[in-house]
Amino acid sequence: MDLNPPPFSSFSHEGLSIAYFDEGDRAGDPILLIHGFASSARVNWVAPGWVKTLGEAGYRVIALDNRGHGASDKPHDPAVYHPPAMAGDAAALLDHLGIARTHVMGYSMGARVSAFLALGHPQRVRSLILGGLGIGMVTGVGDWDPIAEALTAPSLDMVTHERGRMFRAFAEQTRSDRKALAACISTSRDLLSADEVGRIAVPTLIAVGTKDDIAGSAQELAALMPHATALDIPGRDHMLAVGDRVFKKAALEFLAKVGQA
């Protein structure tokens, strides 16, 4: 586990300070990493070894802390957390760095944001890797209102909802702003229609753990997209699939194939 994060910088977008890092070979193909809910660039991508894996493969690795997370600003207004706005932060980061087009990889909420980025800014996205979110991107991923309640409860001991406890404990572990996360979870779950997903034409890898009870089927989502491939991550749930070796190997093979096209 790689616990040494690259140095972070920041830029301003829509009045918010957004933290990011830009690591690896500047001559390499860029890949932008977008983390999941209640996580951060460090927790989602550095600790599980993705930055090391991608950097050693020759990629320029860029990752941001989504608004409400990590070292970025954390407004408590739910209106600012709709996925198109969060995708706008990612596009603005590319503008800030002078990057016209990039591979994009997102996990869970970050996969949703990545899909909105590909739909809203198609000229910026060379390929997509969507981890931890399958057909739930279209059909929904269940009732998440208890997560917001869990995040704002006086203590973890008072939370009885199983998924709520999981995310409350994770938020405490990452020392997150729980009010910002509660605002985020209330509006960041906007769905894409099947037709919208079908308009995402870039090569796409969709990777979901076989024990993931949140994401929904990778195969069902891939079937809606013109150039998508589904990957089962054996024996992994939503939390443990992130850094899996099978996922990393498939991602590198996918990126290499796209690079040769």
For residues 218 and 135, give the distance between their C-alpha atoms in angstroms, rounded to a whole number: 6
Q: What is the pLDDT of residue 37?
A: 93
Contacts of 223 (CB under 8 A, 6+ apart): none
Q: Following DSSP, what letter does each residue of 125-170 receive, concatenated?
A: EEEEEEES-STHHHH--S--HHHHHHHHSS-GGG---HHHHHHHHH
Q: What is the pLDDT of residue 261?
A: 74
pLDDT tens, per residue, the chain with 261 residues = 456 789 999 999 999 999 999 998 889 999 999 999 999 999 999 999 999 999 999 999 999 999 999 999 999 999 999 999 999 999 999 999 999 999 999 999 999 999 999 999 999 999 999 999 999 999 998 777 888 899 999 999 999 988 889 889 989 988 899 999 999 999 999 999 999 999 999 999 999 999 999 999 999 999 999 999 999 999 999 999 999 999 999 999 999 999 887
The residues facing 60 across adjacent strands are 24, 30
Q: What is the DSSP letter of 102?
A: E
Q: What is the pLDDT of residue 3?
A: 60
For residues 98 and 232, give the distance between their C-alpha atoms in angstroms, rounded to a whole number: 35
Q: Following DSSP, what letter does each residue of 206-222 receive, concatenated?
A: EEEETT-SSS--HHHHH
pTM more than 0.85: yes
Q: What is the pLDDT of residue 183?
A: 95
Q: What is the pLDDT of residue 203?
A: 98
Q: Which two tokens stand for residue 78?
A: 């739910």
H or E element at residue 93? helix 83-97
- Domains of the chain (ranges plus CATH)? 9-140+190-260 (3.40.50.1820)
